[in-house]
A and B are shown apart, each in its own frame.
Chain A
Amino acid sequence: MSYATTEQTKKLNLTKTLPFHLLIFALLMLLWEMINRLGIADDLVAPRPTDIVMAMADIFFIDQTVWHHLASTFAKALLGAFIGTLIGMGLAITAVLNETFRKYIKPWIILMEATPRIAVGPIFVALLGFGMSSAVALAALVAFFGPFVNTYQGLMDVDHEEEELFRSLGASKFQTFRKLRLPTAMPLISAGWKLAAASAFSGALVAEFIQASEGMGVLISQYVTMLTMHYAFAALLSVTLFGYILFKIMEYVDYRIIFWRDDQLMYSISEKKRNKMRAPA
């Protein structure tokens, strides 16, 4: 009898399975292509894979339209994520350190959580215009929540015994924060950053859908309006591609900052620190 567990997945290594993955992917693409060639699906509804690849090559290398729009959307989303994270973490840290503030901010937070924040889009566009600022503001508003909740949760979830140890050793509030709360909260906080980046993208894209002159949102809706669906798919895939790269970069940063989650990395860093301490003597 076998019950499904995580152990089973861990044992399968990637190099063995990669050819199968590729085979399945190729078969799927072939099937899709054949469906279009045989006229079962309309190119207007689901453009064939070869057309999408050609369109991607066109917008990336020949026509090169996509770079400008990608840079615009990325700038808006990242700036918004940065501002939102600063606000969210600032509020969370204030709430953790100050009990009165924590109590009074709570109903506002519940209200903010229930409101679909992206829905403020039309208001922001009307207030701030069609340029970059409305998209950045919307991205920041959407992004601030993840870092806020995660930072707050992480900083509050401190082990009682550890806290007692710090108190009995006479640690100051700042020391407890810097050496106990912050390190404990780091994994959750960085998960909050990832959330912020992902939601900031949605915010920037929605602002662009509503009204903008540049950005991937504009590009995708332009292609759809012109009914060049293969270009729309290519633009969508480039958002996915660069989103994936960003995600991987953030994962790497996460791995470097929270080094104590990985034994090997922790060992090498503690070795380095020890060497540094020895050097001056």
Chain B
Amino acid sequence: MKIVSGIVSFLKYALSFIIVLGTWELYAAYGGLNELFLPRPSKIGLKLYDMFIETGMIYYHFFVTLLEMAIGFLIGVTIGVSLAVAAAFSPRFRRYIAPYAVVFNVTPGIAVLPLIIAWFGFGWSSKIALATLVCFFPPFINTLTGLLKSDDEAIELFQTLGATQSQYFWKQQLPNALPEIFAGLKLAITTALLGTIVAQFGSASEGVGILMQRFAFRLDMAGSFASLVTMSIMGLMVFTLAEFLDRHIVFWRNLDGLERVSRQRAKKG
């Protein structure tokens, strides 16, 4: 029964997509739209076919962008999380870092783009730097709030059992903070992609961002829409990956996961 209702609801969604795209296509076919502004879906589809299957030129740009994003994301997350752990352990450090964090938060990271290009040049490093810069904040602030979220009873329990500071950190504070940390990582991974693409708009020789800009400047709207669809695919990919990791590492947040893992552990025991 579950499968059948799943298929039905999927068909419903697919139908709603088809209706929207079909109206768009028909409207364009009868000359209701200026093709220069809004290309019809079939042309975008053809362009996608061309990019992905016929010539396969997109793959190079696709993986360059993904790699730049991944490196930026890793660096940003490492910096953000380690700063947050330091700030959680030392109230003094937290106090002195706070005003800089506020200033950093109100500066739109993207505004630094020209400076970053001037410092790091037109190659990969400037994209990585911007991705790092824009994605470091969510993991930082979420890790900090997660680690500081304290449960008085848990503290008492750990104290009566004579736990050391490091035991308290690894067994209570960190697992307790994991949901927040992962929420931060999910935010960070999409902003890292965004930073990479924006940096490519600024200047680049390879990547999906520069591809799209080239198409747009040539007024090849079907091409730039196809690049946009490619970016959506990338976004969906990284988001699903983050979602998957979240569900498997922070398994205790939903009932299904909790049951699954406890059953596995019971079997092992």
Contacts and interface: CB of A to CB of B under 8 A. Distances in A.
Interface of A: 1, 3-6, 8-9, 12, 17, 20-21, 24, 45, 104, 107, 110-111, 113-116, 118-123, 125-127, 198, 201-202, 205-206, 209-210, 216-217, 220-221, 223-225, 227, 229, 232-233, 236, 239-240, 243-244, 247
Contacts of A17: 95
B22 interface: no
Contact of A220 (B13, B111, B216): B111
Given A122-B224, A243-B107, A229 B115 contact: yes
Report, as a range, how many residues of chain B touch the other chain.
35 or more
Contact of B108 (A3, A24, A229, A239): A239
A-B pairs, top 7 by smallest CB distance, nearest first, are A114-B235, A122-B216, A224-B114, A115-B232, A243-B106, A114-B236, A116-B194
B201 A121 contact: yes
Interface in B72-96: 88-91, 94-96
Nearest to B224: A123
B174 interface: no
Interface of B: 12-13, 16-17, 37, 88-91, 94-96, 99, 102-103, 106-115, 117-119, 147-150, 155, 158-159, 164-165, 168, 173, 190, 193-194, 197-198, 201-202, 209, 212-213, 215-217, 219, 221, 224-225, 228, 231-232, 235-236, 239
Nearest to A232: B115
A8 B91 contact: yes
Contact of A229 (B107, B110, B118, B212): B118
Contacts of A205: 108, 110-111
A210 B197 CA distance: 12
A4 B147 contact: yes
Contacts of A232: 114-115, 118
26 contacts: A3-B150, A5-B150, A8-B91, A24-B96, A45-B119, A114-B235, A114-B239, A116-B190, A118-B198, A119-B231, A121-B201, A122-B213, A123-B224, A126-B221, A198-B108, A202-B108, A221-B113, A224-B114, A224-B117, A224-B118, A236-B107, A236-B112, A240-B107, A243-B107, A244-B102, A244-B103
B155 to A, nearest CB: 6
By DSSP majority rule, is chain A's interface helix, strand, loop, or mixed? helix
Contacts of B165: 1, 3
User: Which of A119, A198, A210, A220 has the largest count of B CB atoms less than 10 A from its CB?
Assistant: A119
B225 A123 contact: yes
A3 B168 contact: yes
A17 B94 CA distance: 12
A4 B117 contact: no
A246 to B, nearest CB: 8
B206 to A, nearest CB: 16
Contacts of B107: 236, 239-240, 243
Contact of B148 (A6, A127, A209): A6
Nearest to B192: A116
B147 A113 contact: no
A4 B217 contact: no
Contacts of A233: 115
Contacts of B17: 107
A141 to B, nearest CB: 12
Contact of B173 (A3, A113, A126): A3
A60 B182 CA distance: 42
A224 B108 contact: no
B216 A119 contact: no
Contact of B212 (A45, A122, A198, A244): A122
Given A202-B110, A209-B114, A209-B202, A127 B103 contact: no
A209 B113 contact: yes
Nearest to A219: B114
B16 A104 contact: yes
Contacts of A229: 115, 118
Given A21-B99, A107-B13, A244-B103, A119 B194 contact: yes
